Amino acid sequence: MFEKILIANRGEIALRVHRACREMGIKTVAIHSEADSEAMHVRLADESVCVGPAPASQSYLNIPQIIAACEITGAQAVHPGYGFLSENARFAEIVEAHGLVFIGPTPDHIRLMGDKIAAKQAVKEAGIPVVPGSEGGIKDIDEAKKVADEIGYPVLVKAAAGGGGRGMKVAQTAQDFREAVETASREAEAAFGDGAVYLEKYLGQPRHIEIQILADTHGNVVHLGERDCSLQRRHQKVLEEAPSPALNAEIRERIGRVTRDAVAAFGYRGAGTVEYLYENGEFYFIEMNTRLQVEHPVTEAITGLDLVREQIRIAAGETLGYTQEDISFNGWAIECRINAEDPETFAPSPGKVTEFHAPGGLGVRLDSGLYAGYAIPPYYDSLIGKLIVHGKTREETLLRLKRSLEEMVIGGIKTTKDLHLALLEEEAFKSGDYHIRWLEIWLAGRAKG
Ligand code: ADP
Last residue of a domain, one of 201, 223, 258: 201
Task: Tell which one of 130, 134, 232, 235 to mutate to probe ligand 1, the residue whose CB is within 8 A of the most ligand atoms.
Answer: 235
Of 168, 205, 231, which is best to mutate to test ligand 1, by the most ligand atoms within 8 angstroms of its C-beta?
168
Q: Is 117 among the domain residues?
A: no
Instruction: Point out the domain boundary residue: 172, 201, 230.
Output: 201
For residue 119, tell me if it sits in a domain: no
Average pLDDT of the residues in 48-60: 98
Give the residue, by CA position, lying nearest to ligand 1 atom 1: 163
Q: What is the per-residue DSSP string for 386-437?
A: EEEEEESSHHHHHHHHHHHHHH-EEESS--THHHHHHHTT-HHHHHT---TT
| Average of per-residue pLDDT across 203-219 | 97
User: Does residue 313 lie in a domain region?
Assistant: yes
pLDDT at 447 over 90: no
Q: Is a pLDDT exceeding 80 seen at residue 449?
A: no
Do 349 and 340 form a contact (C-beta atoms < 8 A)?
yes
Which of residues 88, 103, 118 is at a domain's end?
103
Give the CATH number for residue 183. Answer: 3.30.1490.20
Residue 151 within a domain: yes
Q: How many Cβ atoms are within 10 Å of 153's Cβ, its own excluded?
A: 16
Phi-psi region at 304: left, alpha or beta (left = phi > 0; alpha = psi -120 to 50):
left
Residues in contact with ligand 1 by the CB-under-6-Å rule are 131, 156, 162-165, 200-203, 208, 232, 235, 275, 277, 286-287, 436
CB 364 within 8 A of CB 301: no
CA-based radius of gyration for the chain = 21
Task: Tell me which residue range forms the domain holding 138.
Answer: 132-201
Residue 383's identity, in one-letter code, is L
CA distances from 381 to 9, 79, 104, 288, 350 (A): 12, 19, 22, 22, 10
- Residues 225, 178 within the same domain: no
β-bridge pairing 282-289 and 355-357: unpaired
Helix (H) or strand (E) holding 307: helix 307-315
| CA of residue 171 to ligand 1 center, whole Å | 14
- From 291, 337, 365, 400, active-site residue: 291
Same domain, yes or no, for 250 and 194? Answer: no
pLDDT score, position 140? 86
- For 329-354, write each residue's pLDDT tens digit: 999 999 999 999 999 999 999 999 99
Asked if the structure places residue 391 within a domain, the reply is: yes
Residue 242 lies in a domain: yes
The SS3 of residue 102 is strand
Q: Same domain, yes or no, for 252 and 145?
A: no
Residues 6-45 pLDDT 10s? 999 999 999 999 999 999 999 999 999 999 999 999 999 9
| 388 lies in the same domain as 408 | yes
How many angstroms is it from 273 CA to the middle of ligand 1?
14
Q: Closest ligand 1 atom, CA of 202?
A: 24
Q: How far, in Å, is the centroid of ligand 1 from the Cα of 165?
A: 7
Same-domain status, 67 and 197: no
Q: Say how many Å lie between the first and final Cα of the chain, rounded.
A: 57
Report pLDDT digits (tens) over 263-283. 999 999 999 999 999 999 999
**What are the tens digits of pLDDT across the range 86-124?**
999 999 999 999 999 999 999 999 999 999 999 999 999
* 269 tagged catalytic: no
Do 176 and 222 have their domain in common?
A: no
Ligand 1 center–CA 137 separation, angstroms: 17
Do residues 40 and 70 both lie within one domain?
A: yes
Q: Mean pLDDT score of the chain, rounded to an integer?
A: 96
Could you tell me if 45 and 74 lie in one domain? yes
Taking the C-alpha atoms of residue 210 and residue 289, their distance in angstroms, rounded to an integer, is 10
Q: Are residues 297 and 342 in the same domain?
A: yes
pLDDT tens per residue across span 379-389: 999 999 999 99
Q: Does residue 276 share a domain with residue 213?
A: yes
pLDDT at 166 over 90: no
d(CA 102, CA 77): 6
Asked if residue 126 is part of any domain, the answer here is: no
Q: Looking at residue 307, which CATH number applies to its domain?
A: 3.30.470.20
Nearest to 42 by CA among 343, 362, 51, 339: 51
Most confident among 160-174, 178-192, 427-441 (mean pLDDT): 427-441
> 180 in a domain, yes or no?
yes
CA of 203 to the centre of ligand 1 (A): 9
Domain total in the chain: 3
CATH number of 51's domain: 3.40.50.20
pLDDT in tens, 311-330: 999 999 999 999 999 999 99
Compute the average pLDDT of residues 132-143: 89
> In the structure, what pLDDT confidence band is assigned to residue 139 with cuts at 50, 70 and 90?
confident
* Distance (Å, whole) CA 215 – CA 268: 6
Same domain, 312 and 194: no
Q: How far is the CA of 230 from the centre of ligand 1 (A)?
A: 10
Confidence (pLDDT) at 448: 86
Q: Are residues 163 and 228 in the same domain?
A: no
Q: Identify the weakest region by mean pLDDT among 135-144, 216-225, 300-309, 436-445.
A: 135-144
Q: Quick one: pLDDT band at residue 167, thresholds 50, 70, 90?
A: confident
Q: How far apart are CA 267 and CA 406, in angstroms?
A: 45
